[in-house]
Structure 1
Amino acid sequence: MTAPTRPTPQPGILDIAPYLPGKSGAPGSKAIKLSANESPLGASPKAVAAFASAAQHLEIYPEGSSRLLREALGEVHGVDPARIICGNGSDDLLHLLAQTYLGEGDEAVMNRYGFSVYPIITMAAGAKIVMVDETDYTADVDAILAAVTERTKVIWLANPNNPTGTYLSDAEVRRLHAALRPDILLVVDSAYAEYVTAADYSVGLDLVREAENVVMVRTFS
């Protein structure tokens, strides 16, 4: 056996296709990427003021657990701050979840036209991608459940779905969760929740409060 001549990444890492974000517009023009949750109205004046104030204290090392932010989020959403984790964007949190709950020999189930980051982080964790077809570009609960095996550890569910814009009702998400083993983690990615106005939709907070195997992800972007 020939000795390696340079550091070698874990198996599967080099097989990962890079994430390709959407185009940002034509040269000389300023494009607002609604697909990235960018706002055509600009930043909130309060956010700009808070940023300017924080810039006066750049010499202070930040508190690593985001305690004050978690406490504020907990108060707004009625969640114990100890159950809230803040990261560098929801992609960071999704990656941490994959690294924490997936490993070699495990499987993660996801929609075929779901968020393209899910396959990347699954492969990076050494786990197997299990793609499930949708019905009319909407997540199919029965198809997801049919894809679950003894090796399934994580279900990635963007709700509403990115990029198709469809969603599952609260009843359907609960039906999915009720049929899962308690050792399977259901990740409800509600990054685009603000766009849904349907009465039967839920961001997933109640389910998170009720169950120990559900994580709900949100974003400030």
Structure 2
Amino acid sequence: MSAPTPRPGILDIAPYVGGKSRTDGATRVIKLSSNEGALGPSPKAIEALRKSAEKLHRYPDGGCEALRNKLAEKYNLEADQIVCGAGSDELITLLIRAYAGPGDEVLYSQHGFLMYPIAAKGVGAVPVTAAETNMTTSVDALLAAVTEKTKIVFVANPNNPTGTYINDAEMKRLRDGLREDIVLVVDAAYAEFMTGQEDYSAGEELVRAGKNTVMTRTFSKIYGLGGIRLGWCYAPVDIADVL
């Protein structure tokens, strides 16, 4: 009896390796590899989670309407353009599944998030990297790497692990230099750590401008809620509907 065969390319995907959960032989470990909040979640978040346990017999609202409305209120966004997911990882994967396929190219900066190439290979697309300059995303390198096969461009801004960012003017220059049919994804998982940086915004203005730009965010980092797997994105209505 022959075994089922995965489709071509699946076995070529290297598994994502996150930060270690334990270290053999060590009794006290300070874990830095996953950028988890050292202080833990807010006591208010812990209490809210405890209260929600009383409703575990109920199916959740798949559209996350209450959360989308709260996010829209907090960030002055349109609720119908917000999509929530199981971490921003899921939203990245959904974007690639929706807008890239076999032979298409998914472009990202040299030290970008490892989920970009993993998700790209999962749909048969080709991950392409653009060299960075001084560990910083290079708009010129990204634009030079664009081909007729490019469907999505990812920019983690600010980036992990380099800790660098590009300013609003450079991000706009990138968007203006891309074809209109290319989706630009601004992965702003660490946006809250840029508070007070006047030349930086998370990407919502590019989304508002009506271009094919998506901003992804997460509750995992600044809020210390990595364990509940909750992310969200802000996108043009057409893209939000597809997701």
Aligned to 1:189: 187
TM superposition shift of 1:22:
2.6
How far apart, in 2, do the equivalents of 1:138 and 1:42 lie? 30
Aligned to 2:95: 97
Aligned to 2:10: 13
Aligned to 1:63: 61
1:170 paired to 2:168? yes
Letter in 2 for 1:114: G
Secondary structure in structure 2 of the residue aligned to 1:142: helix
How far apart, in 1, do the equivalents of 2:19 and 2:46 lie? 26
Aligned to 1:133: 131
Q: Which structure 1 segments of 5+ residues have no match? A: none
How far apart, in 1, do the equivalents of 2:148 and 2:111 lie? 24
TM superposition shift of 1:212:
3.6
How far apart, in 1, do the equivalents of 2:63 and 2:86 lie? 12
Equivalent residues in 2 for 1:48-59, closer than 5 Å: 48-59=46-57
How far apart, in 1, do the equivalents of 2:60 and 2:20 lie? 34
Aligned to 1:208: 207
Secondary structure in structure 1 of the residue aligned to 2:166: coil
1:36-89, Cα deviation, whole Å (9 max, x unpaired): 342222221111111111111111111111111111111111111111110000
Letter in 1 for 2:10: I
TM superposition shift of 1:8:
2.1
Secondary structure in structure 1 of the residue aligned to 2:185: strand
How far apart, in 2, do the equivalents of 1:135 and 1:51 lie? 43
> What is the count of residue pairs matched by the alignment?
217
- From the superposition, tell whether residues 123 and 194 of structure 1 become closer, same or farther in structure 2 (CA, over 3 Å): same
Aligned to 1:119: 117
* Larger RCO (alpha carbons 8 Å, 6+ apart): 2
How far apart, in 1, do the equivalents of 2:40 and 2:106 lie? 37
Secondary structure in structure 2 of the residue aligned to 1:8: coil
How far apart, in 2, do the equivalents of 1:5 and 1:212 lie? 49
How far apart, in 2, do the equivalents of 1:147 and 1:42 lie? 40
For normalisation by structure 2, the TM-score amounts to 0.85
Q: Which structure 2 segments of 5+ residues have no match? A: 221-243
TM superposition shift of 1:25:
5.7
